[in-house]
Chain A
Amino acid sequence: MADMLLELKDVRVRFDTIDGTVNAVNGVGLHVAAGETVAIVGESGSGKSQLMMATMGLLASNGHASGTADYRGTNLLNISKGELNTIRGRKITMIFQEPMTSLDPLFTIGAQLIEPIMHHQKIGAAEAHVRAVAMLKLVSIPEPERRMGSYPHEMSGGQRQRVMIAMALANDPDLLIADEPTTALDVTIQAEILELMASLQKRLGMGMIFITHDLNIVRRIAHRVYVMRQGEVVEEGETKALFANPKHEYTRALLASEPTGRKAPVSPNAPKILDGTDLRVNFKIGGGFLSGEPIVLRAVDRVSLTLRRGQTVGIVGESGSGKSTIARALLRLIPSEGAISFEGRSIAGLDRHQMRPLRRQLQIVLQDPFGSLSPRMTAGHIVTEGLLVHEPSISRQQRDRRAAQALEEVQLDPNLRNRYPHEFSGGQRQRIAIARAIILKPKVVVLDEPTSALDRQVQKQIVDLLRDLQTANDLSYLFISHDLAVVRAMADHIIVMKDGRMVEQGSPDEVLDNPREDYTRKLMKAAFAE
Chain B
Amino acid sequence: MTDLATNAGSTVGRSLWADAWSRLKANRAAYWSAIYIVIMAVACIAGPWFTPHDFTTIYQDYTRVPPSLEAYPRPEMIDQAVKDAVKRSRVELASWEDRGDKVSIVVTSAKPIDPRMTRYIDRSSVFENAEVTETSADGLKLTISADVEREHFYFGTDTIGRDLLTRTLIAGRVSLAIGLLAGLVAVAIGVLYGATAGFVGGKTDEVMMRIVDILYSLPFIFFVIMLVVFFGRNFVLMFLAVGAVLWLDMARIVRGQALSIRRQEYVQAAEALGVSRGGILLRHVVPNLLGPVVIYMTLLVPQVIILESFLSYLGLGVQEPMSSWGVLISQGAKNIPGANWLLFFPSFFLTTTLFALNFIGDGLRDALDPKDR
Q: Which of A18, A374, A418 has the most CB of B within 10 A?
A: A374
Q: Are A385 and B272 in contact (CB under 8 A)?
A: no
Given contacts A374-B266, A376-B15, A423-B13, contact A385 B275 (CB under 8 A): yes
B13 touches A366 (CB 8 A): no
Q: Give the docked Cα–Cα distance between A61 and B11 (Å).
A: 31
In the complex, the answer to whether B2 meets A356 with C-beta atoms within 8 Å is no
Q: Are B275 and A375 in contact (CB under 8 A)?
A: no
User: Do B26 and A375 touch (CB < 8 A)?
Assistant: no
* B287 touches A (CB below 8 Å): yes
A422 at the interface (CB under 8 A from B): yes
A413 contacts which chain B residues (CB < 8 A)?
Answer: 4, 7-8
Q: Looking across the interface, which residue of chain A has its beta carbon closest to that of B285?
A: A374
Q: Which residue in B264, B272, B283 is a CB contact (below 8 Å) of A359?
A: B272
Given contacts A366-B269, A390-B274, contact A374 B288 (CB under 8 A): yes
Partner-binding segment picked from A101-109, A151-159, A425-433: A425-433
**In the assembled complex, A360 has its CB within 8 A of some CB on chain B:** yes
Does chain A have a CB within 8 A of B79?
no
- Report the separation of the CA atoms of residues A290 and B207 in the bound assembly, to the nearest whole angstrom: 12
Taking a contact as CB atoms under 8 Å apart, the answer to whether B13 and A378 are in contact is yes
Question: Are the C-beta atoms of B269 and A433 separated by less than 8 Å?
Answer: yes
With an 8 A cutoff between CB atoms, is B229 at the interface? no
CB pair B273 A359 closer than 8 Å:
yes
Q: Scoring B residues 305 to 317 as 1 if CB is less than 8 Å from chain A, else 0, what string do you get?
A: 0000000000000
Is A415's CB within 8 Å of the partner chain B?
A: yes
Chain B: residues with Cβ within 8 Å of the partner, total of: 38
CB distance from B197 to the nearest CB of A (A): 14
Find the B residue at minimum CB distance from A360: B274
Q: How far is the CB of B288 from chain A (nearest CB, A)?
A: 6
Bound CA span A378–B11, Å: 11
CA distance A331 to B272 in the complex (A): 8
Q: Which residues of B contact A179 (CB under 8 A)?
A: none
* Interface flag for A440 (CB, 8 Å): yes
Q: Does A43 contact B (CB under 8 A)?
A: yes
In the complex the two chains form, what is the Cα distance from A288 to B205 in whole Å?
A: 11
On whether the beta carbons of A385 and B3 are closer than 8 Å, the reply is no
Q: Does A389 lie at the interface of the complex (its beta carbon under 8 Å from any beta carbon of B)?
A: yes
CA–CA, A366 to B23, complex, Å? 31
Enumerate chain B residues within 8 angstroms of A386, measured Cβ to Cβ: 273-275
User: Which residues of B from 1 to 33 have beta carbons under 8 Å from A?
Assistant: 1-4, 6-8, 11-16, 19, 22-23, 26
By the criterion CB–CB under 8 Å, are B3 and A376 in contact?
no
Query: A290, A367, A376, A412: which contacts B16 (Cβ < 8 A)?
Result: A376
Shortest C-beta distance, A95 to chain B (Å), equals 22
We find that the number of chain A residues with CB closer than 8 angstroms to chain B is: 56
* A43 pairs with B283, CB closer than 8 A: no
B-chain residues with CB within 8 Å of residue A440 when the two chains form the complex? 273
- Chain A residues whose C-beta falls within 8 Å of the C-beta of B4 in the assembled complex: 411-413, 428
B8 to chain A, nearest CB (A): 7
Name the interface residues of B255-281: CB closer than 8 Å to any CB of A.
264-266, 268-276, 279
Minimal beta-carbon separation of A441 from chain B (angstroms): 13
Q: B233 at the A/B interface (Cβ < 8 Å)?
A: no
> Is the beta-carbon distance between A389 and B273 smaller than 8 angstroms?
yes
B window 233-247: CB within 8 A of A: none
> Which of A347-373 touch B at CB < 8 Å?
355-360, 362-364, 366-368, 371-373
Whether A426 touches B288, Cβ cut-off 8 Å, given contacts A366-B265, A366-B269, A378-B13, is: no
Q: A389-B273, A440-B273 are in contact. Are A333 and B13 (CB under 8 A)?
A: no
Instruction: Identify A333's interface contact among B23, B266, B268, B288, CB under 8 A.
Output: B268
B284 at interface, CB cutoff 8 A: yes
Interface residues of A in 398-430 (CB under 8 A from B): 411-413, 415-420, 422-428
Which residues of chain B are near A426, meaning CB under 8 Å?
A: 3
State in angstroms the CA–CA spacing of A457 and B2 once bound together: 9
Instruction: Indicate whether A303 reaches chain B with its CB closer than 8 angstroms.
Output: no
Decide if B283 touches A18 in the complex (CB within 8 Å): no
Whether B272 pairs with A389 at a CB distance below 8 angstroms is no
Contacts A368-B265, A371-B265, A376-B16 given; does A18 touch B22 at CB 8 Å: yes
Kindly provide the distance from the CB of B309 to the nearest chain A CB, expressed in whole angstroms. Answer: 36
Question: What CA separation (Å) do A413 and B5 show in the bound complex?
Answer: 10
Is A321 in the interface zone, CB < 8 Å from B?
Answer: no
Q: Are A388 and B279 in contact (CB under 8 A)?
A: yes
Q: Which residues 424-475 of A have a CB within 8 angstroms of B?
A: 424-428, 433, 436, 440, 457-458, 461
Task: Kindly list chain A residues whose C-beta atoms are within 8 Å of the C-beta of B287.
Answer: 374, 376-377
Judged by a CB distance under 8 angstroms, whether B206 is at the interface is yes
CB distance from A78 to the nearest CB of B (A): 25
Question: CB-CB < 8 A to A461: which residues of B?
Answer: 1, 3
Q: Are B273 and A372 within 8 A (Cβ)?
A: no
**Contacting residues, chain B, for A528 (C-beta < 8 A):** none
Q: Is the CB of A418 within 8 A of B12?
A: yes
CB-contact partner of B3 in A289, A357, A458, under 8 A: A458
Measured between beta carbons, the chain B residues less than 8 angstroms from A417 are 11
A423 and B7 in contact, given A18-B22, A389-B276 (Cβ under 8 angstroms): yes
Contact B264 A356 (CB under 8 A): no
Mind listing 8 A-B residue pairs with CB under 8 Å? A333-B272, A359-B273, A374-B287, A389-B273, A411-B4, A413-B8, A425-B3, A461-B1
Chain B residues close to A by CB (< 8 Å): 1-4, 6-8, 11-16, 19, 22-23, 26, 203, 206, 264-266, 268-276, 279, 283-284, 287-288, 290, 373
Given contacts A418-B11, A424-B7, A461-B3, 20 further A-B contacts (CB under 8 A): A18-B22, A289-B203, A289-B206, A358-B274, A359-B274, A363-B272, A364-B268, A366-B268, A371-B265, A371-B266, A376-B15, A376-B287, A379-B13, A386-B274, A388-B275, A389-B276, A389-B279, A423-B14, A427-B3, A458-B3
